[in-house]
Chain A
């Protein structure tokens, strides 16, 4: 079935370093959503990207959607301990059924 692949699976950074997670699909995505799940918590919506080549920023977070709409990335500048958690990308599909990647677990060392 359709899958979205995320890399890396884990990332350990020193506070203040940058972090990037990548999401790839073998098929063209109608849209992609990003969610953050804190340890012991539930997924929380971050953003949706719809247009080819779209770039959106939220403070220290930058989201990109590839030109071919088959890949996406999330970049965090100058990580903080509050950024700890697992970041999921999800294929938004055309009916709202999300297909999640396996996520990238970020740990930040103070």
Chain B
């Protein structure tokens, strides 16, 4: 079984530039999560999707962050414009309903904003 796929793995951009991250969850997983992980910290939830609906985006900084999951499968997280403080690892995870919310994480995208 293929795991959660994320791309790119690494991204370096200058501040004020836009950036987008892509995630393909495990096949059949209807729930998709985007997390942000700063160095030395645990992951922090940004947004959770149930199929194509964003059911919890309370922690998403909506002034510069946006996300979509149009067909309820792949998802894209965008930052525009990026700030120095956005440098972090962006993790995507998915879960299958009924498995006690066990989450499978992708390898993450390491963003560096210069």
Interface residues of A (CB under 8 A from B): 31, 33, 41-45, 48, 50, 88, 90, 92, 95-103
Contact = CB atoms under 8 A, between A and B. Distances in A.
B48 A103 contact: no
Interface stretch (B61-69, B75-83, B96-104): B96-104
Contacts of A45: 102-104
Interface size grouping (class) on chain B: 20 to 34
Contacts of B43: 43, 88, 98, 100
B42 A96 contact: no
Contact of A42 (B33, B55, B91): B91
Interface of B: 31, 33, 40-45, 48, 55-56, 91, 95, 100-108
Given A42-B106, A103-B42, A97 B56 contact: yes
A23 to B, nearest CB: 11
Which secondary structure characterizes the binding site on chain A? loop
A42 B45 CA distance: 15
A29 to B, nearest CB: 13
Contacts of A50: 100
A100 B40 CA distance: 12
A95 B50 CA distance: 11
Given A33-B101, A42-B105, 10 more contacts: A33-B102, A45-B104, A50-B100, A95-B48, A95-B55, A96-B103, A97-B48, A98-B43, A98-B45, A98-B103
A42 B42 contact: no
Contacts of A43: 43, 91, 103, 105
